[in-house]
Chain A
Amino acid sequence: MSFWKRFSTNRGAVFGLILLFLVIAIALLAPFMFPRGPWAMVQRPFLAPFDAAGLYLGTDTLGRDVLSGLVYGARVSLLVGLISTVMALCIGVPLGALAGFYGGWVDECAMRFTEFFQTIPNFALAIVLVAILEPSLGSITLSIAIVSWPPVARLVRAEVMSVTKREYIDAARLAGLSNMKILIGQVLPNTVSPIIVMASLMVATAILLESSLSFLGLGDPNIMSWGYQVGAARTVIRTAWWLSFFPGLAIILTVLALNLIGEGLNDALNPHLSRKGRA
């Protein structure tokens, strides 16, 4: 299939994809690798990596296994990233599509509403929402979705506007199709490529947001996440570097993987836009 051929010519994207699959596999296998869970105290605190047998990344301030926390944290990060992105798409795509398709006052209303969210800094709004809703996995995911849908709506609106001007949409109107049928059957399928690319990058942003919230202590207190690990270790960053270093690395690699994939998707789905010079 030519899509895969084009995608695989971008070596960075393939690397990202492998990395992401690795993270997903680890997340899925977590209960089998560490049946006792991330909160169990297994050794004395502040053991450096490789100091004790079986504790490859050492222990944290309370004697919990850092590697175990990392593995369970992967589940939270991926889950939050994925679900919040899906939710953001569920808000942004319909709103943008209606605005772009109908124009006029529908467009005006939808866009003013979108701007209302865009004028508030993302992170500040997320903090406020989580604080109001009580920190939990659900409220974190929801607030991340609420702050990240406006760019989706704008993108979809622009794409829908340009596709709606094509002659095949006129042809569909002449065929007597209803507006909804035209929008869903003819217009939206032709806007999928940029939406997929944007979604892959949004997952990365969502993971970062979740980590930042947990870092500030606004994470779900019952769930081990990478951001929580970094946050909890910040007071001992000079004496026990590994406590914040490895979760930080995990965040960087996962976000990097998603960004590489997003870029690869962009090149593969929009071959005409791909930068010159890439073989």
Chain B
Amino acid sequence: MTSPTLSIERLTIDLPAGADRQFAVHKCSYQILKGEILCVVGESGSGKSMTANALMGLLPSGVKVGAGRAMFGGKDILRLSEGDQRAMRGDRVAMIFQEPMTALNPLMRIGDQIAEVFAAHKRHSPAQRRARALELITEVGLPDPAKIIRAYPFQLSGGQRQRAMIAMALALEPELLIADEPTTALDVTTQAQILKLILDLRDRRGMAVMFITHDFGVVEEIADRVIVMRHGQIVEAGTAADVLQDPQHDYTKALLNAIPSGHVPQSAPVTNAPALQIKSLNKVYRTGGGFMKPPREVRAIDDISLTIAKGEVLGLVGESGSGKSTLGRAVVRLVTPDSGQILVGGTDMAALNDADLRAARHKVQMVFQDPYASLNPRHKIMRALTDGPIAKGVSKADAQARARELMEIVGLGAEAVDRFPHEFSGGQRQRIGIARALAMDPELIIADEAVSALDVSIQAQVLNLLRDLRARMNLSILFITHDLRVAAQLCDRIAVMQKGKLVEIGQTSEVFLRPQHGYTQKLLAAVPGGDWGKTG
């Protein structure tokens, strides 16, 4: 057995007084061997990122290492001087971050940013630095390296930026690469490519990788060993196969159960009258343009027609930029389409003028993605739930009674209406969002990435709630998501969008088991841990 690259012994990280718990990380011990990929898994707030930040000396102010050691190359890297730490960062330990959009300097060319890493550690002559940067860009598989080296970050896609970040991290051939949720912000197909790249690089260079993630699918894809963290403590550790196939701790089991599995429900065919009919809808965004220059056109919705029956859940899946959100917003008329019809219960939402539209608004309601931005921080829940019904003409007393009833239905209790949004967690806020939509007695609910911002166990609860409500109230839902597993759990039919076009629509089981379109097949193949999910 090779000696460990990094050995963490009884590490404790203290949180400042007044935080919701005393330790961010409590007495954690683990090792990463040379050439090994260790996945640190946990939900938000479990302390998984804090460990990585402590190793890099990047703890936020007020948070301190309390006790324990992290031995790396014979030294305790938690207690290095500022200068030694700087020398170590980038050189022997490198890190890649979650947000490729903000982790690169927007005003510097990619090549210069990579060369800067060499300059910071005083390696090579300027000419050699350029040459090395070019090699690295080639190595991480960016297309047309000679052009990329002169490109600015905004000219690259999310996946390309993450590749550039990885190139920077690899510049000085680190022994340890810390990756903090590097694929969370990326589309599935891009995520699959980045995971493959990290695996390749590990094989080629034999470096150790500490991979922080919340996604068990990703774990299945790349991990050699796994540790599961909860409330700052390690609840389970072991090889990837052991933890995934035969979890010991209840929390791990709960997490694994909460993952939307690949089990495809055999949905009953829906034969009811349509709740929503979209007929050849179009929306084109024009940007830039000006004197002598034609504007850039993006066809966000390109001649789309579809129908949702009463009581049906239609899943709308696609990668970012596919136009799925625009379609959702067009149905509620937050976006006005260029042409086409949106028929909700016989009314064409696309053709209404402002006053008629306001009167018809209640027919379609929306549940939003970001639970922290979707409730007005200055209004109590009661107001959030009653503003709409009162505007619609319901009496105040009735609206308030209904609000209390709805809060019971979504499982928060009637007395919660007198509280402010900041007193609720993300999952609870999402329940409030659902209650707000229901308060209007809509004919159709649009759920735009409604569970994407939530941890898996919370996600499972909200999905259960939606399923339950749908059975009880016979709701029609347009469920927009990028996550195919989630879509498979809830939806009767799935529609797949690519670049504004509807490429495939059909029964969930049909789409998942016998995808017709090439793009759908590609999407399904890219889902991390896809095989394990189906058999598990």
How many angstroms between the C-alpha atoms of A276 and B391 in the bound complex?
44
In the complex, are the beta carbons of B376 and A176 less than 8 A apart? no
How many angstroms between the C-alpha atoms of A181 and B387 in the bound complex?
10
Render A167-210 as a binary contact track against B, CB cut-off 8 A, 1 for contact: 11011111111100100011001100000000000000000000
How many angstroms between the C-alpha atoms of A174 and B444 in the bound complex?
12
Contacts of A170 in B (CB 8 A): 334, 366, 368, 374
B379 to A: closest C-beta gap in Å: 8
In the complex, are the beta carbons of A175 and B334 less than 8 A apart? no
Contacts of B61 in A (CB 8 A): 276
Identify whether the interface residues of A are mostly helix, strand, loop, or mixed.
Answer: helix
Contacts of A186 in B (CB 8 A): 376, 379
In the complex, are the beta carbons of A177 and B388 less than 8 A apart? yes
Asked if A166 is an interface residue, CB under 8 A from chain B, the answer is yes
Partner of A174, one of B365, B369, B375, B377: B365
How many angstroms between the C-alpha atoms of A185 and B61 in the bound complex?
37
Within 8 A of A (CB), among B192-226: none
Asked if B460 is an interface residue, CB under 8 A from chain A, the answer is no
In the complex, are the beta carbons of A176 and B374 less than 8 A apart? no
Interface locus among B136-144, B269-277, B355-363, B520-528: B355-363
Contacts of A181 in B (CB 8 A): 391
Within 8 A of A (CB), among B150-165: none
A6 to B: closest C-beta gap in Å: 13
Asked if B392 is an interface residue, CB under 8 A from chain A, the answer is yes
Within 8 A of A (CB), among B315-362: 332, 334, 358-359, 361-362
Interface size class of B (residues with CB under 8 A): 20 to 34
Contacts of A176 in B (CB 8 A): 358-359, 361-362, 388, 391-392
How many angstroms between the C-alpha atoms of A171 and B434 in the bound complex?
11
How many angstroms between the C-alpha atoms of A189 and B433 in the bound complex?
21
Contacts of B392 in A (CB 8 A): 175-176
In the complex, are the beta carbons of A168 and B391 less than 8 A apart? no
A68 to B: closest C-beta gap in Å: 46
B259 to A: closest C-beta gap in Å: 27
Within 8 A of A (CB), among B430-481: 433, 436, 440
Contacts of B377 in A (CB 8 A): 190
Closest to A185 in B: B387
Tally chain A residues at the interface, Cβ within 8 Å: 18
Render A136-179 as a binary contact track against B, CB cut-off 8 A, 1 for contact: 00000000000000000000000000000011101111111110
Partner of A171, one of B362, B378, B436: B436
Closest to B374 in A: A167
Contacts of A173 in B (CB 8 A): 334, 361
Asked if B112 is an interface residue, CB under 8 A from chain A, the answer is no
A240 to B: closest C-beta gap in Å: 54
How many angstroms between the C-alpha atoms of A173 and B391 in the bound complex?
11
How many angstroms between the C-alpha atoms of A175 and B362 in the bound complex?
6
Partner of A175, one of B368, B391, B433: B391
In the complex, are the beta carbons of B391 and A177 less than 8 A apart? yes
In the complex, are the beta carbons of A174 and B366 less than 8 A apart? yes
Contacts of B391 in A (CB 8 A): 175-178, 181
In the complex, are the beta carbons of B373 and A166 less than 8 A apart? yes
In the complex, are the beta carbons of B388 and A168 less than 8 A apart? no
Quick one: given A170-B366, A276-B61, are A175 and B388 in contact (CB under 8 Å)?
yes
B419 to A: closest C-beta gap in Å: 16
Contacts of A166 in B (CB 8 A): 373-374
How many angstroms between the C-alpha atoms of A176 and B61 in the bound complex?
44
In the complex, are the beta carbons of B368 and A167 less than 8 A apart? yes
In the complex, are the beta carbons of B376 and A190 less than 8 A apart? yes
How many angstroms between the C-alpha atoms of A172 and B368 in the bound complex?
12
Render A25-61 as a binary contact track against B, CB cut-off 8 A, 1 for contact: 0000000000000000000000000000000000000
How many angstroms between the C-alpha atoms of A224 and B374 in the bound complex?
54
Instruction: Name the residue among A171, A177, A185, A189 with the largest chain B CB count within 10 angstroms.
Output: A171
In the complex, are the beta carbons of A167 and B373 less than 8 A apart? yes
How many angstroms between the C-alpha atoms of A186 and B368 in the bound complex?
17
Quick one: given A176-B392, A177-B391, are A171 and B359 in contact (CB under 8 Å)?
no
Render A95-118 as a binary contact track against B, CB cut-off 8 A, 1 for contact: 000000000000000000000000
Contacts of A276 in B (CB 8 A): 61
In the complex, are the beta carbons of B366 and A168 less than 8 A apart? no
In the complex, are the beta carbons of B373 and A168 less than 8 A apart? yes
B334 to A: closest C-beta gap in Å: 6
Contacts of A168 in B (CB 8 A): 373-376, 384
Contacts of B387 in A (CB 8 A): 172, 175, 177, 185
Instruction: Name the residue among A170, A172, A173, A174 with the largest chain B CB count within 10 angstroms.
Output: A174
B64 to A: closest C-beta gap in Å: 15
In the complex, are the beta carbons of B378 and A189 less than 8 A apart? yes
In the complex, are the beta carbons of B370 and A175 less than 8 A apart? no
How many angstroms between the C-alpha atoms of A173 and B440 in the bound complex?
13
How many angstroms between the C-alpha atoms of A190 and B373 in the bound complex?
12
Closest to B392 in A: A176
Within 8 A of A (CB), among B376-421: 376-379, 384, 387-388, 391-392
How many angstroms between the C-alpha atoms of A178 and B357 in the bound complex?
11
Closest to B367 in A: A171
Contacts of B375 in A (CB 8 A): 168, 171
Can you give 8 A-B contacts (C-beta < 8 A)? A167-B373, A168-B375, A171-B374, A171-B375, A174-B364, A174-B365, A175-B362, A189-B378
Name A residues whose Cβ lies closer than 8 Å to a Cβ of B: 166-168, 170-178, 181, 185-186, 189-190, 276
Which 9 A-B residue pairings sit nearest by Cβ, starting from the closest?
A175-B388, A176-B361, A167-B374, A167-B368, A168-B376, A167-B373, A176-B391, A176-B358, A189-B378
